[in-house]
Structure 1
Amino acid sequence: MAAAPRLLASSSPPLRGLAVSALVPLMLAGGGCRASLPTDHASSASTPAAGPTMAVPAAPPPPGAVAMESELHWPVPPPPKPDPRDPRLWVALAARLAPASQAAGPVPPPLRLRSARGGLILTDAAGHRVQGADLLVHWRWQPLAQPRIWRRPALGPFASFESAEQAADQWRQLGVAAVIAHPGDWEVWAPASALPPLGLQPRLQERRLPGRWVPELRPADGARPLQEPIRIEAPGGLRWQNGVYGGPFRLQPDAYGSWSLLEEAPLERYLEGVVPHEIGAGSPAAALAAQAVLARTWALRNQHRYGVDGYHLCADTQCQVYSDPRQAGAAVRQAIASTRHQVLSYAGRPIHAVYHATNGGVAAGFEEGWSGEPLPYLQSFVDGPAALQASLPLPLQQEGLALLLRQGGAAYGASHPVFRWQRQLTAAQISAALRGVAPRLGEPRSVRVLERGPSGRVLALEIVGSGDSTVLRLDAIRRTLRTLPSTLFEVRPVAAGQWRVVGGGFGHGAGLSQAGAIDLARRGWGLRRILQHYYPGTALVPLTGLQSEAPPVIPERHP
C-alpha cells in the first residue's frame, strides 16, 4: 500500500498556459456526411464512394443532450515542437488510463507512482504540491450536468498510421482540417461540414458522454481533487513497469476523455531506451550508429503522430519500442553519442526513416507497404552483391520471385532466422481473421494474389468465400493475416480449405534491413555507406541544418 502523501502549501505559481478548463466534456465532434452516409457507433472500414458527393445535416441530439458541432474531440493542447538545440519528446508510458467507457463498470484501479530513489514531487495546474516516495492517484466519476453527443465523419480503421496519414492528406488537400486518431485502430476524423475525398466513403460516428473520471489524492484528511495537467518530478527516477525513467512526467487528458502518463524525455536519452530494443545491443558499431540515426530521424519525422492526444509518441510497436534507458550498454551509448543530433534528410526535411528486421533479400519501395506516392529514397532493389542483382532483375516476375525464395542465400542479412519462412493457412483461420472485415464471406474457397509490386511483394490478395469475396491490400494484408511475417510470399492450395505460404523477410521491407545492416557492418561497411545503400540520395545533417533545399539527385545503386 502506498504511504499517505504529504500535502504542501502552494509554494510556486500555477502552471499557467497548461491548464485545460476544468472538467469539460469528453470526445468532441461534429457530423458531416455523404447523402447515404451510414451512422456507426464504432470504428468502421473505409469503402469506395458511390454517387454524388454532398454534405447533409446531422440528426439533432436526443432531448437533454448537447451536440458538439465545433470540435472533433476532447480539447487537448498540442505538445510543444522540439527545439533543435535541445530536443525533447513527450512520450506516453501509459495511455487510455481511466477510460470513460468504464462509467458503468468498476472504478478504474489507482495509478501508482513510485520513486526509484528519494521522493516524488507532484504539482497540479492550481499549484498544489504533494511530496512522497509512493503516491496513489485515485479516480472519481464526475457526471456532466447534461450528456454530450459528438458526431463526426470518420475514415478507417487503417492498418497503420502511414495509411491513415495518406487519407488525411487527401482531406487536407480539399481544405479540410482532418486529424488522425488512434482510439483502438487508426482513424481520420473531419469536421461536420467536410466533403469526403474522392473515392473514400466516411462513416458518421456518434459518441455519447455522460461524464468522465477525474484524478484525486486521498490523504488522511480527505480527498484532494487534482487540476489538469499534473506534473511529476522524480529526481531519483520513477519506477514504471519493469524500468526506471528519468522524467519529468505529466498526467493529462487525451482526445477520448481518458488520461495519459507522459515522460518529457530528452531526445538522446529517449534513444537509449529505443536503440537496444530495436536492433540488439550486440550489433556491430556501424549498425548501431545507423539505428541511432534512423531512430532519431523517425522520432522527429513522426512527432505529430499522437498530436491529437497532446503528446508526440507512444512507447510500443505503434511507434518505436521505448523501454528503460538504463539498459543501454556502452556500445549503444557510444553509437548515440557519436551521431548526436544527426538525422537523415531529403530536401531539407527528416526522411520517412522506416526500417524493419529483414527484407528477405529484396527491399520494398514505400508504395509497396503503404498507400501513397513513391519516395525517391525508398526504392525497391535486390539487397545483395552485384552477381545476385544481375540474376534477379526488377520488377520481379513470378519466376524471379520463386528463384529468390529458393536461392537467395547470397543476399545481405541471409542469416536472420526469418529470412525464409513457411506458414499454413486454413479456412478456419482466414474466416476468424476476416470476421470484422468481410462478415458475409462465408467459408473461404480461394486465396489468390492479384497484384505484386516491383520487389515481388503482394499488393492485393483476393479471398473468395462461399458467400462473398474481399481484397486485402498493402499493409492490411499482414494486419489481417497476422501469422504472415511479410508480404513477400507465394501461396498455393495444398488441400480443401488449406494453403501453404512460402515467403521471405520479416516486416514491411522498406528502408533499412536491420539484418542487412548488421551483415554489411561485419563486412566493413561504415555508417554513411550503409545509410546511402538503403536511403540513396539522402544527407546526414545536424538538427540545426534542416532547411528547405533543392532535392538531391538520386544516384545509381552500387553494391
Structure 2
Amino acid sequence: MTSVCVTTVVLCGTATAAIAAPASEPELKIGIVQRFGAKPTDVLSLQATAGDRLTIQAKTQDKEKKLQATNIKLETVMQPLPKATLSERVVLSTHRSFETAEHTAKQWRQMGIEVEIAQPDRWQVWAKRDIYNSPLLRRFLLLSLQVKGNKNAYLDTQVLQQVPQVNLVVDGQRYAYQEIDITTNKNLIQISEGNNQRDLRLYAGRMRLQPNAYGTYTLVNEVPLETYLRGVVPHEIGANVPYSAVEAQAIIARTYALRNLRRFAIDDYELCADTQCQVYRGLSGTVPLADRAIAATKGKVLTYDNQLVDALYSSTTGGVTAAFSDVWQGTDRPYLQPVIDAADSVWNLSGQSLAEEKNFQRFIGLQQGFNEAGWSMFRWRKESSLAQITQDLQRFFKANNSPWANLKQIYQMQVTERSPSGRILKLAVQTDLGTVILEKDEVRSAFSAPRSTLFYLQPLNKGTNSLWGYAFVGGGFGHGVGLSQTGSQRLAKLGWSSAQILNFYYPGTQIEPLSDRITFYSEESFSTATTAK
C-alpha cells in the first residue's frame, strides 16, 4: 500500500519525507489553547479591537452559519451520548520529548507498524488509528508485541458516556458547532481564558477552533512567520538583552519553527505555544529591540548542507553544551556537539572527558570563567528525601503506565554512565522491585529536584546511620543542546556578532535567506537501522 503525504504532514508510514522551503513567507498554525474542553468549566472570550468586528464561520457535518459580533464566548458543555462509546488506542511508547518520540516512531515503522505521534500529556507513539481501527486488530497487535517481549505497549481504553461540546455564545444566543473560524478586518483578535476579560491577550492573524485527537478542541492561531516571531523572541530571550544575542535568538527561533512544522500533524496544526515548542504570546509583550532584530534578520535561517538545522536551544547549559544523543534517543547531528560554554579556554574536553566521574565533579565545582557564570541556574544544589524521590518515581512510572509504579522503597541510586559532555546516560535505582535503569532525559523527567541531566548524586544521612536522601549537585537549566540563551548574552556583551554566536554553538553551519533550495526537514537525513523493543 502506498502512503500519501499532504502539505507539511511528513509522518506517513515508512515513506521518507522532505519539506522544501516556499518562495513566499510561510503562514504557521500555532495551537495556543491545546486542550479546550478538558474541563467542563473551560471558557474562552474573544473580541475585536476598537472599531472592528469578528466574523465567525461555524460548521458541523451538516450545517454552516456565518455571524458577526464585537465579542463572543466559547463555552464547554458536557453532552451525554445516546449510548456508551469505546475510545481506544494502542500506546506503543511514552516519552518526555518529541525528539525521542520521533526516533522511536521511526523504529516502529522499520518494523512495519504504521504509527503517529501524539501529545495527550506526555509525548506518545500510537499505532495508527485508521489502520488499527477495530478492537480485534488492536488486541492482535498488542499480543504480537507481548509475544516478542515488549512490556511497554498497552491499550488506552475509555468508555465514554459523555463528550465535551463547544457552545458558541453570540449576543446571548447559543450555537453548537464542531469547527469555528474567526477573522477580523484588521487581522487582530483579543483572547482571554476564563471569564476574566481583563487578561486579554492580542493575537494577529486568524483563529480556528477544531477537534483534536483527544476528544477535546484546540484553538489554532494562523499567523505569518515574521509576525509569529514577534510573540516568541522577547519571551524566549528577554526584553533587556544585548542586541546581537537577540538577533541570534531571532534567527534560531525562525529556524526552529520551520524545522518543526510536523510536531502536531495528528491534530492538523504545527506548533504549540509553550516550552514543548517555543513560548509564544501573540502581540502581547512585544518590544522594540526584538522587533528590530526580527526585521533585520527577516527570512534568515541557519542551515547545514542545504537543510535547516535542528535549531535546539535552552536557557543555561551549565558550562558545556550537549550532543543530541546525550539527551535524546536518535542520531547525532554534526553541528550539535559538546562545546565548553566559555569565550576563553577553561577546560579541555578532549583531555579531561566529563564522562569520568572525578573530572565531572571537579568541573561542576568550577564557578568562574564561563559565559553563564553568575546566573542562578549555572550551578545548583537541590536536596530531596527518599520519601520525595520515591513519590517522584511512582508518579513518573504511573504516567508511563509502567509496573515500576508499584515500587514502595528505594535503597540506592547511582549514575552508571555519562556522556563526554557529562550528561547522565544511565542512572540505576535499586528498589524493592529490583533495579531499574533510567536513561537520558528520563532522568530529568523522573525527579523533581534536578534542573538538567548535568548533575551528580551526593548521599545524605542527616546525622543518622541510614540513608535520608540525596543532594542533586549540578548545573544548567534545560536540555543543554545548542545555543545557551544566557551564554549568548555574555558573548554579545563581549562584542560578538549574531553570526559569531551561532557559529560558536552550531559549528559548521551557515546563515542564509530562505529559498527554494533549502529543505525544511528530511527524515532521511537522520535515518537509523536500530529497532524498537
Confirm whether residue 281 of structure 1 aligns to residue 239 of structure 2: yes
Residue type of the alignment partner of 1:115: A
Confirm whether residue 94 of structure 1 aligns to residue 33 of structure 2: yes
Q: 1:452, CA displacement in angstroms? A: 0.3
Classify the secondary structure of the residue corresponding to 2:348: helix
For residues 403-432 of structure 1, give each alpha carbon's deviation from its aligned partner in whole angstroms, at most 9, with x where no partner exists.
212225112222222111111121011011
Residue type of the alignment partner of 1:228: E
CA 1:326–1:231 in 2, change beyond 3 Å: closer, same or farther? closer
- Report if aligned partners of 1:392, 1:404 keep a CA contact under 8 Å in 2: no
What's 2:155 paired with? 204
What's 1:477 paired with? 443
For residues 13-62 of structure 1, give each alpha carbon's deviation from its aligned partner in whole angstroms, at most 9, with x where no partner exists.
xxxxxxxxxxxxxxxxxxxxxxxxxxxxxxxxxxxxxxxxxxxxxxxxxx
Confirm whether residue 533 of structure 1 aligns to residue 504 of structure 2: yes
Q: In structure 1, what is the Cα distance between the partners aligned to 2:221 and 2:264? A: 14
Confirm whether residue 180 of structure 1 aligns to residue 117 of structure 2: yes
Q: 1:116, CA displacement in angstroms? A: 3.4
Number of matched pairs: 469
For residues 303-342 of structure 1, give each alpha carbon's deviation from its aligned partner in whole angstroms, at most 9, with x where no partner exists.
1111111111111122111114242221101111111111
Residue type of the alignment partner of 1:404: F
Q: In structure 2, what is the Cα distance between the partners aligned to 1:466 and 1:211? A: 41
Q: Tell me the TM-score normalised to structure 1 length.
A: 0.77
Residue type of the alignment partner of 1:91: I
CA 1:232–1:146 in 2, change beyond 3 Å: closer, same or farther? farther
Confirm whether residue 113 of structure 1 aligns to residue 84 of structure 2: no
Q: Tell me the TM-score normalised to structure 2 length.
A: 0.81
Confirm whether residue 355 of structure 1 aligns to residue 292 of structure 2: no
Residue type of the alignment partner of 1:85: S
Q: In structure 1, what is the Cα distance between the partners aligned to 2:207 and 2:173? A: 25
Q: In structure 2, what is the Cα distance between the partners aligned to 1:506 and 1:220? A: 47
Q: 2:104 aligns with which of 167, 171, 185?
A: 167
Q: 1:149, CA displacement in angstroms? A: 2.5
For residues 371-423 of structure 1, give each alpha carbon's deviation from its aligned partner in whole angstroms, at most 9, with x where no partner exists.
11211110012222453233873522223212212225112222222111111
What's 1:264 paired with? 222
Q: 2:415 aligns with which of 449, 467, 473?
A: 449
Confirm whether residue 327 of structure 1 aligns to residue 323 of structure 2: no
Q: In structure 2, what is the Cα distance between the partners aligned to 1:497 and 1:227? A: 54
For residues 442-485 of structure 1, give each alpha carbon's deviation from its aligned partner in whole angstroms, at most 9, with x where no partner exists.
22221210110011111111222344332221111111212211
Residue type of the alignment partner of 2:164: W
- Report if aligned partners of 2:21, 2:518 keep a CA contact under 8 Å in 1: no
Cα RMSD after superposing both structures: 2.9
- Report if aligned partners of 1:394, 1:455 keep a CA contact under 8 Å in 2: no
CA 1:270–1:347 in 2, change beyond 3 Å: closer, same or farther? same
Q: 1:351, CA displacement in angstroms? A: 1.5
CA 1:132–1:221 in 2, change beyond 3 Å: closer, same or farther? closer
Q: In structure 1, what is the Cα distance between the partners aligned to 2:484 and 2:28? A: 26
What's 1:132 paired with? 69
Confirm whether residue 405 of structure 1 aligns to residue 338 of structure 2: no
Confirm whether residue 313 of structure 1 aligns to residue 284 of structure 2: no
Q: In structure 2, what is the Cα distance between the partners aligned to 1:184 and 1:167? A: 17
Q: 1:458 aligns with which of 394, 418, 424?
A: 424
Which ranges of structure 1 fall in alignment gaps of 5 or more residues?
A: 1-70, 73-79, 553-559
Q: In structure 1, what is the Cα distance between the partners aligned to 2:468 and 2:188? A: 54
- Report if aligned partners of 1:159, 1:186 keep a CA contact under 8 Å in 2: yes
- Report if aligned partners of 2:367, 2:379 keep a CA contact under 8 Å in 1: no
Residue type of the alignment partner of 1:328: T
CA 1:196–1:325 in 2, change beyond 3 Å: closer, same or farther? farther
The within-5 A match list for 1:332-411 is 332-385=290-343, 387-390=345-348, 393-396=351-354, 397-411=356-370
Q: In structure 1, what is the Cα distance between the partners aligned to 2:178 and 2:411? A: 57
Classify the secondary structure of the residue corresponding to 2:107: helix
Which ranges of structure 2 fall in alignment gaps of 5 or more residues?
A: 1-11, 14-18, 193-198, 398-403, 462-466, 526-533
CA 1:499–1:216 in 2, change beyond 3 Å: closer, same or farther? closer
Q: In structure 2, what is the Cα distance between the partners aligned to 1:219 and 1:484? A: 48
Identity level (%): 34
Q: 1:280, CA displacement in angstroms? A: 0.8
Q: 1:423 aligns with which of 369, 374, 382?
A: 382
Classify the secondary structure of the residue corresponding to 1:215: strand
Classify the secondary structure of the residue corresponding to 2:492: helix
Say which is worse superposed, 262-271 or 542-551, in terms of deviation. Answer: 542-551
- Report if aligned partners of 1:120, 1:235 keep a CA contact under 8 Å in 2: no
Confirm whether residue 122 of structure 1 aligns to residue 56 of structure 2: yes
Residue type of the alignment partner of 1:462: A
Classify the secondary structure of the residue corresponding to 1:283: coil
What's 2:7 paired with? none
Classify the secondary structure of the residue corresponding to 1:486: coil
CA 1:465–1:341 in 2, change beyond 3 Å: closer, same or farther? same
Classify the secondary structure of the residue corresponding to 2:263: coil
Q: In structure 2, what is the Cα distance between the partners aligned to 1:444 and 1:255? A: 37
